[in-house]
Chains A and B, each alone.
Chain A
Amino acid sequence: MQQTTPRPAPGAGAAPTARQRRAARAGIAVAVAHAVVTVLWVGGSALGVPAATPVRAWVLPLFAQSWNLFAPDPFTTESELWVRGRTCDGVTTPWRSPTREEWSLVEGSLAPVRAGRLTTNLATELDRAHRALPEDVRTVLASDRPDADAWATLAVDLGVEPAELGTPLALGSRTGLELAPTAADALRLDEVAAGYATQHVAATSGAGPPCAVQTQVRSVPIRVAPDDPARPRVAVDLGWRPATTQPGQSPEAFADALRRWAP
């Protein structure tokens, strides 16, 4: 990449005209302003300070960024998603971990596919949201709501206003939108998790689509020495939810792929 003029412009060597000077000054001003706004966004995201609205409007979505990778410290625990389902006849399927199934996609691959990290990232988001919430909110989310109005009644019980559910859902670590998770965020992640569990149970249980599903995140310490204890802990415990399918979701497309690594 060239760091100087790539090709002599006509009249190169001659003194720039007044118009060229003005354009150069304006261009430099725009570039510097853009750089300053970018620094404000990245700095705010690193310090956990929400960006001012004009900064946000300029940066998102094209210049969304966050560079606190593995910082301040790398994860010292791994979050595993665990799901199970209940058929309409009341048969409960055994707990399975889609996360552990996805690890087989990473192992032995020079260029792992992105399907190998989907549920670790979902579990990490759930864990992050729940860790930020008080015990009483988590207790409400742990209660069983297997009926269709599950998230409406949970919203009422948690005091979440409908307007709060319409704002973009913050996602840790990549966009720089690392705002403190709210009860509304946890509620929406709860519904995403139920949507994922519905697909996974339908694809793997052999008992057909479930009527209700349940999700947990189990947190396991990363072993850095052979004698490290690795005791899993249930970090997120969500009650039974109704099976839920988002518009446009194709259970076949989900299952076709999953069959390759989760027989």
Chain B
Amino acid sequence: MLGSLLVNLPVRHHVWGTGARWARTWPDDDAWGWPVTLLGADLPRAGFEVLYAATVLAAAAFVLGWRTRWSGVALLVLGSAVLRLDPLAADAGDNVARITLVYLCLARCGARWSLDARRERRRRGDDPAPGPVPDAWVGTLVHNLAVALLVFQACLIYLVAGLTKLVGSTWLGGTAVAYALGDHRYAPWPGLNELVVGVPGLVTVASVGSVALQLLFPVLVLWRPTRALVLAAAVSMHVGIAVLLGLPFFSLAMLSLDAVFVRDATWARGGALLRAALARVRAPGPARR
């Protein structure tokens, strides 16, 4: 969301602001209520500027893990207020980001790799054991349910995306990807797309392969031996979508949701490797000086 807001900064008034009120039939009549509707299509230019800036700040705070409980809720309210102003500008990535954010507001996002976690560590000092926290089990219960719902949502997306493609003729027929790549609004590099379409067999493999991946994703990701493999396949598919179809923020939203399937221990190992690599890069520095 942060990336999308920053990329669209130069065209914000045209897409959501006072330049976009020709589309106000949607925000005037949609299902949103208080407090999101307070920041609706009646906002003057200056009000919209404040809303947009506040949304960017909330997104940045949430990414850095600063007061995640509150920055998450603020981002949900403010981000929804901006995006609903013109649904013609929306894409499926907004749905992924918003729904994921709802669940993340219930999870303990500030527990690791965040400014919240750093503050907590400093507050505790050298004492590694947290003091007795009354009723911490409520937070744990809600966190675990939120994680379970994230898993459910990810599986639902892949399964439905796969099943609905079985109804059509072009996906299993092996031509669908060529049509998607030929659509101007999804072709930032038309020459590259033509090149991809020209490789014999690639379009067929990509069309059939993406349906297979989407259908099998829920099963393969929940079974430990195939998890890494199917996640690698999903990453490749989303990198392809990001570059060839020009939808980087949709891909990022899907990959952040997929990240729920990577275990705590794996993240910790990745973090340790990264720290070791950084230390190796830094170490020769002073010696050379």
A7 and B3 contact, CB distance less than 8 A: no
Q: Give, as a whole number of angstroms, the nearest-CB distance from A124 to chain B.
A: 9
B24 and A248 contact, CB distance less than 8 A: yes
Q: Does A231 reach chain B (CB closer than 8 Å)?
A: no
Cα A24 to Cα B143 with chains together (Å): 12
- Residue-by-residue, is B23-52 near A (CB-CB < 8 Å gives 1, otherwise 0)? 111100111100000000111110000000
Q: Does B7 reach chain A (CB closer than 8 Å)?
A: yes
Q: Does A127 reach chain B (CB closer than 8 Å)?
A: no
A35 and B152 contact, CB distance less than 8 A: yes
Q: Which 8 A-B pairs have the closest CB atoms?
A: A72-B168, A257-B14, A195-B22, A253-B19, A73-B168, A254-B19, A249-B21, A71-B164
* A222 and B25 contact, Cβ closer than 8 Å, known pairs A73-B176, A250-B19, A257-B13: no
Cα A102 to Cα B246 with chains together (Å): 14
Cα A256 to Cα B15 with chains together (Å): 12
- Pick the residue among B7, B80, B259 that contacts A61 (CB under 8 A): B80
- Residue-by-residue, is B119-150 near A (CB-CB < 8 Å gives 1, otherwise 0)? 00000000000101110111011111101111
Cα A102 to Cα B186 with chains together (Å): 12
B149 and A34 contact, CB distance less than 8 A: yes
* A6 and B108 contact, Cβ closer than 8 Å, known pairs A60-B31, A171-B26: yes
- Pick the residue among A23, A34, A107 that contacts B187 (CB under 8 A): A107
Q: Tell me the count of chain B residues lying within 8 A, CB to CB, of chain A.
A: 104
* A196 and B149 contact, Cβ closer than 8 Å, known pairs A1-B260, A116-B185: no
Interface residues of B in 1-20 (CB under 8 A from A): 3-4, 7-8, 10-11, 13-15, 17-20
In the bound complex, residues from chain A placing their C-beta under 8 Å from that of B175 are 224
A254 and B169 contact, CB distance less than 8 A: no
Cα A224 to Cα B29 with chains together (Å): 39
Q: Does B184 reach chain A (CB closer than 8 Å)?
A: yes
One of B60-68, B86-94, B270-278, B281-289 contacting the partner: B86-94
Q: Does A258 reach chain B (CB closer than 8 Å)?
A: yes
Tally of A-B residue pairs with Cβ under 8 A? 279
A108 and B169 contact, CB distance less than 8 A: no
Q: Does A139 reach chain B (CB closer than 8 Å)?
A: no
Look across to chain B and name the residue whose beta carbon is closest to the beta carbon of A64.
B95
B156 and A42 contact, CB distance less than 8 A: yes
Q: Does A65 reach chain B (CB closer than 8 Å)?
A: yes
* A31 and B14 contact, Cβ closer than 8 Å, known pairs A109-B188, A117-B185, A250-B19: no
In the bound complex, residues from chain A placing their C-beta under 8 Å from that of B45 are 250, 253
Cα A151 to Cα B17 with chains together (Å): 26
* A249 and B156 contact, Cβ closer than 8 Å, known pairs A7-B130, A111-B3, A168-B31: no
In the bound complex, residues from chain B placing their C-beta under 8 Å from that of A113 are 7-8, 10-11, 15
A253 and B111 contact, CB distance less than 8 A: no
Look across to chain A and name the residue whose beta carbon is closest to the beta carbon of B256.
A1
Cα A115 to Cα B136 with chains together (Å): 46
B184 and A10 contact, CB distance less than 8 A: no
- Residue of A28, A62, A111, A122 with most chain B CB atoms under a 10 A cut-off: A111
A31 and B88 contact, CB distance less than 8 A: no
- Pick the residue among B136, B147, B152, B171 that contacts A73 (CB under 8 A): B171
B161 and A62 contact, CB distance less than 8 A: no
A174 and B14 contact, CB distance less than 8 A: no
* A61 and B137 contact, Cβ closer than 8 Å, known pairs A74-B183, A224-B175, A248-B24: no
* A109 and B246 contact, Cβ closer than 8 Å, known pairs A1-B259, A224-B182: yes
Q: Does B69 reach chain A (CB closer than 8 Å)?
A: no
Q: Does A46 reach chain B (CB closer than 8 Å)?
A: yes
9 A–B contacts, CB within 8 A, in A order: A5-B140, A65-B95, A67-B161, A72-B166, A76-B170, A102-B185, A114-B11, A117-B89, A169-B29
Look across to chain A and name the residue whose beta carbon is closest to the beta carbon of B9.
A113
In the bound complex, residues from chain A placing their C-beta under 8 Å from that of B166 are 72
Q: Give, as a whole number of angstroms, the nearest-CB distance from A171 to chain B.
A: 5
In the bound complex, residues from chain B placing their C-beta under 8 Å from that of A65 are 95, 99
